[in-house]
Structure formats: structure tokens, C-alpha cells
Amino acid sequence: MKKHVGIVCVQGAFIEHKHALDALGCTCIAIRNRSDITSDIDALVLPGGESTAQSRLLHDLQLFDTLKEHIEQGMPTLATCAGLILLAKTIDGTGDLQGLNESAANKRLAVEGFQTLNVCVQRNAYGRQLSSFHTQLYCARAGRELPATFIRAPRITSCGAHVEVLMQYNESAVAVQQDNQIACTFHPELDSDLFFHKTLISL
């Protein structure tokens, strides 16, 4: 059965997710307004980008409550980088406050997310754009190493109940799953291995 996947397209890197899902034979639906969230949608993607901007836009466009309700009711959801921050139960600082004045720092901290994923996360924990990197990490569920591209990536600092760690980097979880939610600190959509997108549409 062909899956219809809604990709939240208010800000950030969403086109690569579309390419990955197109390759798997999915029908992709761009979510930019509340009317785009229809009963046809089988799964959601929350892409990378800038979590503060995404949070603000989701509220401004009146998307936030509807998306949160769908996630809480069990809709399969794949979140990458900033998308993971939006799912996280707790944001433990931001990892990028140095050099900011108090007003700017408070804006960075004011990310109101869905708080549906039982993890604590720190934003931009690996540094800024120039600190981005690519590596291969073992995933037991996949039974092989998977490529992982980190771009201004957050760090999962702790995992709570019902969270399964799928991949680790330097002893920190970088891919997790809790029931219907899959979240990566890196960008699987930038690499050719479609394991996480396949997992999404299998839920």
C-alpha cells in the first residue's frame, strides 16, 4: 500500500526528505498550513533547520496543536536534528549561547516544542557549521553501519522510559525510537542509505 507522508515545510531542509521518500514510492504532502493536514496522511517528517524559527512558525501558522495531537495519537513520525529538538521533553540549555546578549539567549531558549519524546537534548552541542562532520555508526537493528552526517547537531544528554537507543556516537545516543517516534540528531536524508525512512513507513 502506497504511503502518504506529510513533510512539515515551514522552514529548514525538507526537500531531501522528499527525495528519499519518493525513492521509496511514497506520496509526499507538503505541510505549510493547517489545511494541508488531511486524513490521507499516514506518517510525518519533522526536518532539520532552526528549531526556534520552526517553533514560532508552527504556532503562527496554527499547525502546532494539530501536529502535536497526531503525534500523541500514534502517527509514525521521523524527526531529524531540529525536528528532534521539537519532540524532546526537555531542552537542557542550547549549546550555543556563548557571545549572545541576554535577550538573544532568552530567544534561543524559548523553543516551545511538542515534548512527546522522553529525552533531554542540548542544541548545537557539536559546534557551529564549520564543526559539521560525517561518519559511519553501527546500528544493531539495521545489522550494519549507517552513514551519519552531523550539521550543527544537537546532543541527546539523557533518555527516559520507553526510549530505545538505536545508534550512539562517543557514548551519546544519536538515534532513538519511542513507540511511533524515530529521532536522529544527524541528517539521514543527506545520505543514500534509507534505513530510517524505511523504518518510518513500516510503522
Query: How far is residue 60's CA from residue 13's CA, in Å, rounded to a whole number?
Result: 19
Q: Provide the 10 A C-beta neighbour count for residue 42.
A: 19
Q: How far is CA 48 from the centre of its chain?
A: 6
Secondary structure class of 85 (helix, strand, coil): helix
Distance CA 153, CA 126 (A): 6
Catalytic positions, written as ranges: 81, 187, 189
DSSP H or E segment with residue 137: strand 133-139
The alpha-helical segments, DSSP class H, found in 24-75 are 51-60, 64-72
